[in-house]
Structure 1
Amino acid sequence: MTTGLAGLNVYSVVQDHNGYLWIGTETGLSRFDGRRFRNYTTKDGLPDNEVLKLYVDSKNRVWVLSFTNSICFYENGLLHSPSNDAYLKNLTFSTEPQNIQEDSSGNIIITERKKIHFLKNNGDVKTFIKYENYQVVTIGIGTNNLGNTIIASIFEHRNDSLVLLEVDRFTGNVKYSGISDNSYFTSSLTFILTPKNLAFIHNKNIHYLSGKDFKLKTIKQPPNFVGFTAIDDTSFTLICRDKVLLFNAKRNAVVDTLITGKVINACYKDNENNFWFGTNGFGLFRLSSDAFKNYELKWGKGILPIYSVAKKNNVLYAGANNALLWKINLESNKIDSKQFNSYGEGRVSEILFDREDMIVGINAIFSVNPEGKIVKLNHGTAVAKSMERYGSDLLAATNTSVIIVDLEKKTLKDTVWKSRATCAVKINNDYLVGTIHGLFRVDEKKKITDLGKENFLLSSRISRLFLKDDALWIATYGNGIVLYKNGKILRHITEASGLSSNMCRCLKLQGNYLWVGTDKGLNRINILDTNDRIVTYSAKSGLSCDIINAIDVDDSLIYMGTPYGVTVFDPRRAKETSIAALNIERIVTSEESKTGLFSNITLKPGEKKLYVEYACVSFKSDGDIKYYYQLQGDGDKWNLTRENSLEFASLNPGIYRLRIYAVNAFNKKSNTVEINITVEKFFFQEAWFITLVIIIVGLLVYFMFAKRVAWIRMREQDKLITEQRLNELEQLAFRSQMNPHFIFNCLNSIQQYLFTKDVIEANNFITEFASLIRQTLDISSKKSIQLRDEIKYLSTYLHLEHTRFEHNFDYTINVESIIDTETVELPPLLLQPFIENAIRHGVRNLQNVRGCIEINFHLQNDYLICNVIDNGIGIKAAEKMKHVFRSSHQSKGVSLILERIKNINRKSEKPIRLTVEDNMASSENQGTRVSLMVPVA
């Protein structure tokens, strides 16, 4: 890895508690999350850009030891140095610091070449230069089982013996310590101590103490040896200038070569079991797993793709383009190649062994004996696609046919199929041929059956066939894996079942496991347990490439050909470990940018923009990370993104909770990060202000409404009063119209008395008339009067009329006994006009008959019934007389009463009802009946 790294010379690699990988280079400090590098230099606060050593303590502080005589540490997004942190201000160095260690009390011990610094938690510093008057020269550092720091040293000018000094974690004092098998040293490249292994360099040998008896053992330094680093309790790496070896102390042997061809400065194993190698000039390298060993087979300036592999004894053969056959010695890692023709054309697509001979398929099929003699087994040119051996017969599928070759006679024996094929196997006496159009059966009589017509899955493009106990495993190029037996499909395995891809290229059976190569990695399928999940290995796991062209197996290992060479895979050493550590890296608001640990964020009023940057550390995922986030307070939906940042452009005031988690390429879920976000409101958005505004507005609305209601009520009251006054004026007008009419008639009567010189009668009439006028004026101003007053008024009026008409008619007023005349009320002057009409137009015109007027009052339901009955000439006769005599006087009394009743009914729930009708239809003097129904309370 070079792109984004601070420098190409890498001196130190460590991993912090959040999962980040920290890399010290010659030109700065880098932090790697598996996808991106974040670099720090002197501009960010480093004392010097050349970072020689890194250390992570229990507080997750990343300590940085640089080339200059200074030190700093990174914590929560900030670099702390003596210039900005009081904790470090008392710490000074005369040379560059070399090693650093934390004891179990949290104190930090830092060594220079000839000094030991004890940095207490409170910032106090103790410095030691000598022990018992001997100058101390430090070479390594670690802790023991007591939690104290152990410093590996030698005493200057005394001897070269190793001395272990112990720094007490409580007092900081230094004392001599013997070798303890409970000590653990992080050490330098020249010294290492694990709980059961002490190793150091002396006289070009590596000395180490191992085992329960802790006996000293010695091994010779490998060529170009530089140093070593601890991996775990039983193993450490031997770093050479051109490679890194893995040494196992229990086995007392080098067990693997981790990397070759590079000068290594640092080696580190992370918590995903990845090996990281810091190189000199080539940046950072990662070995995902020591279960995978990749061979790059170079030809000219390029790496050749491998299309076929086959293993015999300890040698792996690999076929490539340019007619090249590669030979890899798996013990010595020696690589040789052989070219089958001088012009370098053809692809070695198949390799098979026939006892001591090798069968190779290129643009023809060749047999190669141990002496290297080559014999062509078929006629013409045909590219071999697959080869299977059955006794002395070789069944070969080519791009032109499927043929049988006699391996003993080295001659063509038969042609089974006469067109292009991809693979073929023999089952009993039949041949099953795979083609790009599906699977076909050819019987011993060469009858061809298209099996794709029986089941559409068998019409898929066939990549490879593998026969085991009459069960045929079929690799298709688009429909996954099919298990076919006795004419039936027993199993169909696809991406939905867990297969990494339906584009299957090759397959091999190893015990109970079927290994399938696809364009998206290697798959392991348990053929006995269908519930066992399919395991996928890819470039993320350690493969050189996801595309698998060829597979071969032995009892324990898998051999694969890929576009990038050959991979040897040991499934027993494969550990399906991956991490998914989610961290918030940066939060940016409209006002500021923050880094470090976050749990609560407050945005000021008007700050609506929020940018959150995060990263999931998962090195094996190679950036294939899915992020899920939920913003509570703005909905509970979980959203998916592959971006490592979120931006909220317009957050409304309120309280939110942002929750984020990640899922890596291996479907491992990370920790969930929660951030409480408070978007503050302007004062006018606060509840108290809104409440106050609501109250004020409410009061204003209330007062305006009350004022409006009062105004409306006043208007309605005024309107009602006006209407009442108008009504009263109207009633008064009606009454005032009646009064002159009545007064006029009475004055005529008085005039008649005076003409007849009956002065006494005239005076009596005037007296009674005056009384009637007073009553009229009294009751005409009232809305209603008592029935008693109405009867009194009518009696006075009838008496005057009886006198005026010389007693020529009789009248009676009858009141039902149950009527209380003092409580029953009715509008005044309603009956008088009808009585006047009864006299004037009824009984007055009678001939030879005495007139009679009868007035009756009785109750019926809620009404007072007032009847005016006369025995006059009747309505029709009176109308006829009006036309005959053409009377100039038009009485308006009745019409005024009708208008008055109509006006009263508009204001009353119960109407006044009036009927006027002839009294006796069979008589000549039938008379008239007037009925007035007045509602009573």
Structure 2
Amino acid sequence: MQSQNKQLRAYTLEDGLPQSQVYALTLDAKGYLWLGTQGGGLARFDGSDFKVFNKTHGLASNYIHAIKASNDTLFLGTQKGISVKVKDVFYNIKTPQVNEILKFGHTVYALTDNGLYKLINGISVEKVKLHSVINNSQINDLVFDGNYFWVATNNGLWKLSALNSEAKTIEQLDHNDYIDLAILDAKIFASTFNYGTLVIETQNFEDAYLIRTPLRINSISIQNSNQLWIATDNEGVSVVDTETFKVLFTIKNTNGLSTSDVREVLSDQHGNIWIGTSGGGLYKYFQNSFKHYNIETGLNGNRIYAVHHNENGLWVSNSEAGLMKIDPMGIHDVELPEAFSQVKIKSITSDKNGNIWAGSDGKGLVFKGKVLSDSIAIDTLKKSKKRIPIERLKTKIFNTENGFPFDWIRTIHTENDTVWAATYSNGIVKFSYDPELDDITIYRTYSSLEGLEDVYIMDMTKDDDGRLWYATKNGHLGYLKENRITHLGLALDQDISINSIVVQNSTVFLGTAGNGVWWSNDTNFSVFKKLKGTKNLTSENVYQLIFDDQGYLWIGSEKGVDKVELSKDYDINDVFFFGRNDGFLGIETCLNAVDKDHKGHLWFGAINGLTEYQPTDISLNLKKPKLFLEDVKVAYKSIDTINLSLWSNSDKVLRLNPNQNQVSFSFKSIDVNHPNGIEYRYKLNDNDWSLWSTNNTQDFSELNYGAHKFITQSRNYRWIESEPTRFSFFIEKPLYKKTWFQWLIIGITVLIFVFSILQYVKRLKNKNRKEQERLQLENHLLTLEQKALRLQMNPHFIFNVLNGIKAMAPTKPEKMNDTVNSFATLLRETLVNSRKDKIGLDQEIKTLKHYIEVERLMAEESFEYDIILNTDLDVEEILIPPMLIQPFVENAIRHGILKGPRKGKLKVQFDTTDEILKVAIEDNGIGIYNSQQQKPKTDHQSMALKVTRERLESISGKDALKINETKQKDGTIDGTTIVFKIPLETDY
């Protein structure tokens, strides 16, 4: 214990603490530290910032005496009663002043100035009836040892078997004013204000032991497993061994606290112990490997410019206050000439004889050492003289006033009797000094004339090969060996200051101003590589470089120091950062003010003092950080209806309406030691993780409808990752986008469409039926009309034929018999066909031939005719309406051929395709239009052609019939051609 350095970090009003009197401390499950003050209300601390709650936020009183955290609820004991904090809302319950709040099982108890109360449903209280004396006493503390309740009151110490008036055991053990209780194993520690601390074996009260000091006790607690920390109002904190009851050490105003009035002590999960004081604010106590020196511990100033260790001790220069020496006897001022009393000493070293060399700003070099001088001693008996060497101190200044070339010394290096001094802007001087003869010999000055291209030296060091390396402000690097300069130029190919240089195992490391650390170990050091790896340095501004005895590289910066673990290939395996919260209280290190002593301890000079690092086996806290959701906002409003700690990592799903597609998350991990070292990452659903960053909020807008899962994770400054925290939510689709609604709309649309189609089909069917009925009626009427026309035609035809036969009797008796026979056959076929809708083409051709023969027999001059059939089909299978062709043939014969000047020719041709039957009737008469002009119109002929045309249009559509006159080359009409097409119908 004594080998470890104890450190205190103060938090005061300047850090955001609302009040310097801290009376109550507690930690919640998330890691927040809560402080109750006297007049400043409640404060929450995350290691970096204080968040304050007071009466303006709903707190009943700003004077808080007790705090108890349970899940996300905080119970506060105030002057005016109990305040229950749920999220950011306070519920106040009036009681006498509350001195302590405890929780046993699910019941919360308030220990007041007037008895014990228990909380009912978090909104009211009920006084617990115990012994009549206890009921009216000031109750200060209460503990349970597994069998009995121990109650500390201003009227004595009590032992109860139950917290009610019917307890079988209610025993008053002592009558003193008991302030606080603590329990460890089978021991009860009961402290009074003015009579010490009583140690009681729970099973044997007679073996009680009294710890007589300290007195004036405010509170007690068990810390570090087996230490009793006793807080007093005048002697700070006394730490007592719970086995020997010896005081191990004290913490008070003489060794770190600003006041000795300590009210409360609390330990956290990181091993820190927090001390609440009355008037001095809050302190963090921690044990580490650092020991800090500053003005309060004996230095003349806090800013340390140079550090050097030799066998005589540690030599430091601080502020403008000269030199100081630290050795086992303490801290001592080093006497210097008056000229060096108010000067900045920027470099310290020693030679082989232990003499000190110090370089200054503007005053040159100072030598501080011992020299031997002869003294004559007289031997009175022998009457002789003897020379005796006497050691005496010598101080010598070297500057331009006494022949030294430079006054501004940046850094010094010694080897045997030789000294190298590097200046700010004039290069390097090599010299030696004989203090006994007071003789200085300047061997050489290295400047631009000798090849030192950049004379603004920042640091020098020597390697094992005898090379004296130098680094410059402008980024140049080189070395001196055997009085020759090897200037390597811009080692990093950039104009950036090289602040520090160190050589380890033939590898050169360069610390830069703003670009980290670079290294090279090749033959001619032509290529330098930047030091990097899985972790990054805390800062790129490097002021100090040094290796410890374990091979770790220590890097000083403006933020503290990094302890870097390197691989054999010089990659960064790990980085251990030490700042103010880790015991490195100096914070910003000073340029090259670092050294290692004979014990392997490292000494760092910084702006706020000198820090010693003592390697120990103190283990780092490697616990995973805890990550919790601080807030979930929907449409920029916090969701107050759910408990985030219960919903996180559960199967619960937050259901949102379609308009709530903007969701924000705030998440947090608490590390009171390294609050700024926490980093976070997140992902939504199955997307990739985001990059690690210090941002602990994330906003999502215009989210898709459906299920979502937000996942976040944190890591601490050691890159130890927390368990992922997830939160599930579901954004409902709008009604019009829901599947069932869409299917419903589709179904209704389909039904309407089907209904419309059905109605349309129904109307179409009705229309078609009516049209069909109309067409059938028209067709029937047309058929009747044709039949009637045929019947009308027959008498006229019969009359004509009979007149023709009558005329044949005297002139052509030989044809009369054939004409009568042909006429009889034609009448029979016409009567038969007129009753049918369709007949075979063979039958139509047969009837047509009989008709043409009758006309030929009756004609005065016979004519020729030809019926041509162009088809691959069987003519018996081709169907055709009856009497469709006869009117055109009749018209061709009677009004074309018989009236023409030429011997008549008639051709009827039938052609078929897959779908059409084409009929062509050609004659060589006078032409149809000429014939119509010459003949008188008859109802029979005009009606026959009209009916036949209409029949064709009903069968084949409009323009089914085409009639053209044929002409010769001279324009003379030599006949008529009638063509029509009807759909091909077959009888199969």
Identify the TM-score tier after normalising by the shorter chain.
Answer: 0.7 to 0.9
Whether the aligned pair in 1 keeps the contact of 2:116 and 2:135 (CA below 8 Å) is no
* Amino acid in structure 2 at the alignment position of 1:233: S
> Which stretch shifts more, 586-595 or 656-665?
586-595
CA positional deviation for 1:434? 1.9
| Residues 130 and 163 in structure 2, CA contact (< 8 A), matched pair in contact too | no
| Equivalent position of 1:553 in the other structure | 596
In structure 1, what is the equivalent of residue 755 of structure 2?
A: 703
**Residue 139 and residue 804 in structure 1: after superposition, are their counterparts in 2 closer, same or farther (change >3 A)?**
closer
Q: Where do 5+ consecutive residues of structure 1 fail to align?
A: 84-91, 157-162, 180-186, 918-926
Query: Would you say 1:463 and 2:499 are equivalent positions?
Result: yes
Separation in 2 of the partners of 1:603 and 1:933? 73
Structure 2 residue aligned with 1:415, among 432, 435, 444?
Answer: 444
Query: Is the contact between residue 782 and residue 947 of structure 2 (CA under 8 Å) also seen in structure 1?
Result: no
AA partner of residue 36 (structure 2) = G
2:22 and 2:35 in contact (8 A); partners too:
yes
Cα distance, 1:522 vs. partner?
1.8
Is 1:568 matched up with 2:615?
A: no
What does the per-residue CA deviation read over 1:827-871, in whole Å, with 9 as the maximum and x for residues that have no partner?
443366458757987799999x9x9999999999999999999xx
What does the per-residue CA deviation read over 1:20-78, in whole Å, with 9 as the maximum and x for residues that have no partner?
21101013122223454443435656453211233446x6764433234x345546666
Question: Residue in 2 aligned with 1:32?
Answer: 45
Measured after TM superposition, the shift of residue 741 of structure 1 is 11
Q: Which string of whole-angstrom CA distances, capped at 9 and with x for unpartnered residues, describes residues 58-108 of structure 1?
A: x6764433234x34554666656546xxxxxxxx65xx44445555x5666
User: In 2, are the aligned partners of 1:452 and 1:458 still within 8 Å (CA)?
Assistant: no
Question: Equivalent residue for 2:471?
Answer: 434
Distance in 2 (alpha carbons) for counterparts of 1:292 and 1:192:
32
> Take 2:655 and 2:977, find their aligned partners in 1: how far apart are those partners?
96
CA positional deviation for 1:587? 4.6
Structure 2 letter corresponding to 1:523: D
Match of 2:668 among 599, 609, 615: 615
Q: Distance in 2 between matches of 1:137 and 1:852?
A: 147
Change (3 A) 1:303 1:497: farther
Q: How far off its partner does 1:439 sit?
A: 1.7
Whether the 8 Å CA contact 2:559–2:588 is kept in 1: the answer is yes
One-letter identity of the residue aligned with 2:545: L
What is the match of residue 396 of structure 1?
421
Change (3 A) 1:124 1:618: same
Aligned position for 2:712 = 660
The Cα shift of 1:394 comes to: 3.0
Give me the TM-score of the superposition, normalised by structure 1: 0.72
AA aligned to 1:564 is N
User: Secondary structure of 2:719's partner?
Assistant: coil
Residue in 1 aligned with 2:256? Answer: 259
Q: For residues 866 and 194 of structure 2, what CA distance do their matches in structure 1 show?
A: 162
Check if 1:352 corresponds to 2:349.
yes
Alpha-carbon spacing, 1:799–1:702, altered in 2? closer, same or farther (3 Å): same
The residue identity in structure 2 corresponding to 1:254 is: F
Q: d(CA) in 2 for partners of 1:602 and 1:359?
A: 76
Q: Which residue number corresponds to residue 625 of structure 2?
A: 580
What is the SS of the residue equivalent to 2:482? coil
Instruction: Give the structure 2 partner of residue 525 of structure 1.
Output: 564
Does the CA contact (< 8 Å) of 1:102 and 1:149 recur in 2? no
The residue aligned with 2:306 is: 308
Provide closer, same or farther for how the CA distance between residues 680 and 840 of structure 1 changes in structure 2, counting only shifts above 3 A. closer
- Quote the Cα distance in structure 2 between the aligned partners of 1:491 and 1:247: 56
Match of 2:852 in 1: 798
Output the CA distance in 2 between the equivalents of 1:450 and 1:719.
113
- Is 1:376 equivalent to 2:397 in the alignment? yes
Paired position in structure 2 for 1:20? 32
String of CA shifts for 1:206-252, please: whole Å, max 9, x gaps: 89899xxx997979759x99776532223355657586676667896
2:643 maps to 1:597: yes
Distance 1:471 1:812 in 2: 123
Alignment of 1:885-900 (within 5 A): none
Q: Aligned partner of 2:612: which letter? A: V
Provide the C-alpha distance between the structure 1 equivalents of 2:309 and 2:688, rounded to a whole number of angstroms.
57
**Paired residue type of 1:232:** N
What displacement does 1:496 show? 3.9
**Change in 2 beyond 3 A, CA 1:225/1:755:** closer
Indicate conservation of the 8 Å contact 1:585/1:595, yes or no.
no
Is 1:233 matched with 2:215? no
Query: Matches of 2:625 and 2:524 in 1, distance apart?
Result: 47
Q: How much does 1:575 deviate?
A: 2.4
In structure 2, the CA distance between the partners of 1:377 and 1:4, relative to structure 1 (3 Å rule), is: closer
Q: Which moved more, 1:655-664 or 1:193-202?
A: 193-202
Q: TM-score, normalised by structure 2?
A: 0.69
User: What SS does the aligned partner of 2:751 have?
Assistant: helix
Structure 1: distance between partners of 2:690 and 2:86: 31
How far has the Cα of 1:286 moved from its partner?
3.7
1:367 corresponds to 2:367: yes
Alignment of 1:74-113 (within 5 A): 74=85, 79=90, 82=93, 96-99=97-100, 101-102=102-103, 111=111
Give the 3 Å change call, closer, same or farther, for CA 42–898 of structure 1 in structure 2.
same
CA shift for structure 1 position 401: 2.1
| 2:160–2:167 Cα contact (<8 Å) kept | no
Q: Is the alpha carbon distance of 1:831 and 1:382 closer, same or farther for their aligned partners in structure 2, counting shifts above 3 Å? A: farther
- Pairwise mapping of residues 723-742 of structure 1 onto structure 2 (< 5 A)? none
1:802-881 → structure 2 map (5 Å cutoff): 802-805=856-859, 824-827=878-881, 828-830=883-885, 833=888, 837=892
Q: Kindly provide the amino acid, as one letter, of the partner of residue 498 in structure 1.
A: K
- Alpha-carbon RMSD: 6.3
2:630–2:666 Cα contact (<8 Å) kept: yes
Distance 1:886 1:702 in 2: 57
- Would you say the 8 A contact 2:311–2:354 is kept in 1? no
**Distance in 2 separating the partners of 1:732 and 1:344:** 147
User: Retained in 2: the 8 A contact 1:189–1:226?
Assistant: yes
When residues 719 and 408 of structure 1 are mapped into structure 2, their CA distance, relative to the original with a 3 A threshold, is farther
Q: Which amino acid aligns with 2:858?
A: R
| Alignment-derived partner of residue 505 in structure 1 | 543
Contact 1:915 1:932 in 2 (8 A): no
Say yes or no: does 1:444 pair with 2:482. Answer: yes
Q: How big is each residue's C-alpha offset from its partner over 1:496-551, in whole Å with a ceiling of 9 and x where there is no partner?
A: 45341443222122212222223454222345755742333334534336543232
Q: Is the Cα contact below 8 Å between 2:179 and 2:191 reproduced in 1?
A: no
Change (3 A) 1:537 1:462: same
Counterpart residue identity of residue 805, structure 1: A
Structure 1 residue matching 2:640: 3-state secondary structure: strand
CA contact (8 A) 1:247 1:256 kept: no
CA distance in 1, matches of 2:529, 2:911: 108
Name the structure 2 match of 1:9: 21
- Aligned to 1:594, what secondary structure does the other structure show? coil
Give structure 2 stretches of 5+ with no counterpart: 1-10, 202-206, 371-391, 448-454, 967-974
Question: What aligned pairs does 1:166-205 form with structure 2 within 5 A after superposition?
Answer: 167=161, 174=169, 194-195=184-185
